Chains A and B, each alone.
Chain A
Amino acid sequence: MDATRMKRIAAGLVSLATFLVLWKLLTVATGTPSYILPAPEVVGERAARAIGSGILWEHLWATLSEVVLGFSLGAAAAVFVGVALGKSVVIERVLSPYIVAAQAVPVLALAPLLDIWFGGGLFARVLVVALIVFFPIAIATMVGIRSADPRLREMLRSLGASPAQVTTQLEIPSALPVIFGGLRVGVTLSVIGAVVAEWAGASVGLGVLINIADQGLFDTPLMFVALAALAVIGLAFYSLVVFVERQLVHPT
């Protein structure tokens, strides 16, 4: 392992250790009871029990499925629509008002309707995730497509390239850094979308676990475990997007 990589890992661990120490100091200094703010070791112990009993895996797996399916569906649709928006001013003028209006409606308000319309199954929740990730990726794709160098575009056309070739050989590759910016935002939103969808109607998932821990068991440490699990999912998928971006955009 090279020194740069080791330094990066050390920095991450120091950051985590500092966060945990500050958290612990806060609980000690304020004397806050554990049903309001549990200390890190209380949450750690609760996490071990939740993992041991299997309850965390059951809910984690459900949320993970919604995030993966919803993000894949939403991102694919967003890139497709974003390319269309970027290439055609007419399509942009026709679709943009609807896309912006859909984004302006809070997903929190839309989710219960989708739940009723689609029978409250996995598809309804995947749709909520897809909706929440769609906008940033579609807009990033549109902006990226339009940012392609017009001189290169003109050169390709003069060499006889078809519109599809211009898109695949020039516009999409040059848009990749911007598209990945949208994907980075979208992938973190997908975790929020999954929880919103679960709060609109689900029997399993980390959002459901938060509700059960909060209002059913009054188990604040378990709420923290569920929140930490959501944070880990978000971090893991964000890192995955960054990794793929490095491979595609800045291969070494």
Chain B
Amino acid sequence: MSSRANQSALLIAVAALAVIAIVLFRPPAGAPSGSASPTGGASATASSSTAASASAEELRPVRLLLGFQPDVQFAPFYLAQQAGYFRDAGLEVTIEYSDDVLRLVADGQAELGVADATDVMIGRTSGIPIKYVATLYEHFPVALIGSPDAVPDDPSGLAGMRIGTPGRFGSSWHALVALLDAGGLTPDDVTIREYPQFNQVEGLLNGDVDLITGFLANEPLRLQAQGFETELLTVDHFAPLPGPGLVAGDGLLASDPDLVNAVASAVVQAQEEIGRDPQRGVDAAVTEVPAIGEDRATATAVLEATIDAWDPPVSGGVVRDVWDAGYQTLRRLGFIDGSVPVEDMYDLRVMGIVDPL
């Protein structure tokens, strides 16, 4: 009896192992892989109607994803919403926040979002059907920050320094590695200290590191508020990288490019107005997020630094030369393998090209 039970159990175990092997291991080459192709597969939620032609009663719902949390740096989106630029274009825009913009937009769970161009390059290469459609920041907004005597004039002077950064991912890491590369260095030539909670400012103030990576409109202002004199080493002069912008999924770009254009145009219009009158942007941000009004002076300083990174007058166009340079840099550094050409990473139909001066 015991022997028969043992045999049954053995048979069941073998059958279960066979099922596990079949499910877990990919069939031989040639069979469908199930992974997404870079050029398709996004489930677009867009209808075929064009946004601009919609009547006031037929506003097209649009979900727009901004990064992480509400911030005065998103003032153009708040102004476009409050001033009715989206509504005039036939859009009922809902602004939300997420730290996973690329995948949600590519999957059609949101129509558009804001993302780093360098992340678009990496995401697109890894199979996420997403494209960059409009430039928001003409200057890469991340720099190396430190005291004036610590920041070298040239990236080659970074050798041997202790540098704090949130982690080995994202625009801060891309900027740091690109700068090191421009100086003929690698991350092994410096001491990297990671601050995943974005508390690298405390690390710099403590003296744990010599330099930190940070956003032009954030860390330098926080340091200056504590009486710490700052100097910046920006990537623009040494290793140009394209800045953050609007992104949309392949599905929506195929089915309703006019909608994408309508959102981008409304945001660029608001950016232009804030560039001329930053207080309009601060007002819009305070209306959207009343807590920002608790320290209006800081909010104004942050927005002014942000506007510098936009570099008005803005057009939203793709700065193709910088994209080409950034693409080559990321490829050389191993972030991308070059399997997806740079032209497949942005869509020039939406806001066009910005020619270098």
Contacts and interface: CB of A to CB of B under 8 A. Distances in A.
Query: Bound pair: A and B?
Result: yes
Interface of A: 1-3, 6-7, 9-10, 13-14, 16-17, 20-21, 23-24, 27, 31, 33-36, 38-45, 112, 115-116, 119-120, 198-203, 208, 211-212, 214-221
A23 B20 CA distance: 12
B110 interface: no
Interface of B: 2, 5-6, 9-10, 12-13, 15-17, 19-20, 23-27, 33-36, 41-43, 99-100, 102-103, 106-107, 119, 122-123, 126-128, 167-170, 173, 192-197, 199, 202-203, 206, 208
Given A17-B20, A24-B23, A220 B196 contact: no
Given A13-B13, A39-B34, A203-B168, 16 more contacts: A3-B6, A9-B13, A10-B9, A10-B10, A13-B17, A33-B35, A34-B36, A35-B103, A35-B127, A38-B35, A198-B196, A201-B193, A201-B195, A208-B167, A214-B100, A218-B122
Contact of A200 (B27, B41, B193, B196): B196
Given A13-B20, A116-B203, A42 B119 contact: no
Contact of A112 (B26, B197, B208): B197
B196 A199 contact: yes
Contact of B23 (A6, A9, A17, A216): A17
A42 B35 contact: yes
A21 B19 contact: yes
Contacts of A202: 194, 196
Q: Would you list the 6 A-B pairs with minimal beta carbon distance, nearest first?
A: A216-B169, A13-B16, A6-B9, A17-B19, A10-B13, A34-B35
A17 B16 contact: yes
18 contacts: A3-B6, A9-B13, A21-B19, A34-B35, A35-B127, A38-B34, A40-B23, A41-B27, A42-B33, A120-B208, A201-B193, A201-B196, A203-B194, A208-B167, A215-B167, A215-B170, A216-B173, A218-B128
B25 A35 contact: no
B103 A2 contact: no
A41 B167 CA distance: 29
A68 to B, nearest CB: 22
B184 to A, nearest CB: 23
A215 B194 CA distance: 15
Contacts of B13: 6, 9-10, 13
Q: Which of A3, A7, A44, A203 has the most CB of B within 10 A?
A: A3
B6 A41 contact: no
A3 B119 contact: no
Q: Which of B19, B24, B206 has the most CB of A within 10 A?
A: B24
Contacts of A38: 34-35
